Every structure is written in C-alpha cells, then in structure tokens.
Amino acid sequence: PEELTFVYTAKRCDESFNAQDDRCEDFGNGPGSSAIIECRNLNLNVLTVNSVIVGDKISVPLNSNPLTNSISCTITSNNVVSQTLIMDTTALSLKDTFGSFRLERCD
C-alpha cells in the first residue's frame, strides 16, 4: 500500500484485535485521550508525527517501499511514552485494531 489511515482510539494493547502477532506494549496507565504519535520504518526514518485526540485520523505514508513492510509507532501521553507497537503492513485487514490504532483505510 501507498498509505495507511488509522483512527486513534486510546485503547490498551490487550484490546487489540487482528490476525497478526503484533508487538504492542503499554506503559503506566496506557494511552491518554490526547497523545503524540510517531511512526518509523525499518531504518528508523520518521514516517509521520501527529498530535491527536481520540477519534482523530493518522495517515502513515508507506510509498510501497520495502522498508515500510513493518512500522513501529510510539504513543506519548502527558510527555511519557504510554504505548509502543510494531505491525506488519503487508498483512492488514480493515478495522483491525493494534493497541490505540484502528485501521480505516489502506490506499
């Protein structure tokens, strides 16, 4: 895919629902209702940084680059990392949830 669009839900890792063996870890109280999202590719290049509240959409550009076959995202709430997740972008289904992310579009 060229781009993935997620909705920020502020859900914890144990609420994930997807067919992947995704790697998700909560810290402290988990994600808050507002957060900073940063996603990176396999080379750790930043793909996107967004300030969000629950319900906001996050677009992650992949540009069909093999380095984006897996992405890692860090969610920071109240200046503290509250969740990290790593997902395989080659095996996604719409409405899959990965911790605080729900996949809405895959373009």
Residue 83 is which amino acid? Q
| pLDDT class of 39 with cuts at 50, 70, 90 | very high
Whole-angstrom Cα distance, residue 36 to residue 14? 20
**Which pLDDT score is estimated for 20?**
82
**Which pLDDT score is estimated for 56?**
98
Is 30 in contact with 84 (CB distance < 8 Å)?
no
Whole-angstrom Cα distance, residue 93 to residue 76? 25
How far from 31 is each of 19, 55, 72, 75, 93, CA to CA, in Å? Answer: 22, 13, 16, 7, 23
**Which pLDDT score is estimated for 21?**
73
Q: Is the alpha carbon torsion for 93, 95, 98, 102 positive or negative?
A: positive
Q: What is the pLDDT of residues 55-95, one digit of tens each?
A: 999 999 998 888 999 999 999 999 999 999 999 998 889 99
**Which pLDDT score is estimated for 91?**
84
Percentage of residues of the chain with pLDDT beyond 90? 83
**Which pLDDT score is estimated for 58?**
97
DSSP three-state, residue 11: coil
Mean model confidence pLDDT for the chain:
94
**Which pLDDT score is estimated for 83?**
97
